[in-house]
Amino acid sequence: GLGFNIVGGTDQQYISNDSSIYVSRIKKDGAAYLDGRLQEGDKILAVNGRDLKDLRHKDAVELFRNAGYDVSLKIQRRLQPQNGPVGHRGDGESGGLPVAAILVPGLVLAAAAVWILLRYRQRM
């Protein structure tokens, strides 16, 4: 095979009111993975010049199965990640300041204030 799975079609819409065909998974060490250009979430517009618009899922699958050895895909890259809000980096970070960047200076200031207060009270 070509090394990827698809979702979508007129009978199995992946996105509401959109019957396009999308790459749902790229199989490790498959042809698409080794080529490196196709990404999960890409919309496939055409296979070997054949438009995929308004096809049932099974008909799209059949086109891929009969595509031959040299396959040309016309795709539209997804504009944002599928999971999470725009700007989400997906590496466990929220993109804001880490909690330690706020707590550590706050604790240092609090400790300095306590030390100054204790020194001031000793002088009285």
How many structural domains comprise the chain? Answer: 1
Q: Do 45 and 51 meet the contact criterion of CB atoms below 8 Å apart?
A: yes
Entry pTM: 0.62
Domain that holds residue 15: 4-76
pLDDT in tens, 15-61: 999 999 999 999 998 999 999 999 999 999 999 999 999 999 999 99
Q: With respect to residue 97, please indicate whether it lies within any of the assigned structural domains.
A: no
The CATH number of the domain holding residue 10 is: 2.30.42.10
Residue 60's φ and ψ, nearest 5 degrees, are -65, -45
pLDDT tens string 60-118 = 999 999 998 889 999 999 765 555 444 434 444 444 545 555 666 666 777 777 778 78
pLDDT at 49: 94
- Helix or strand or coil: residue 34? helix
SS3 43: strand
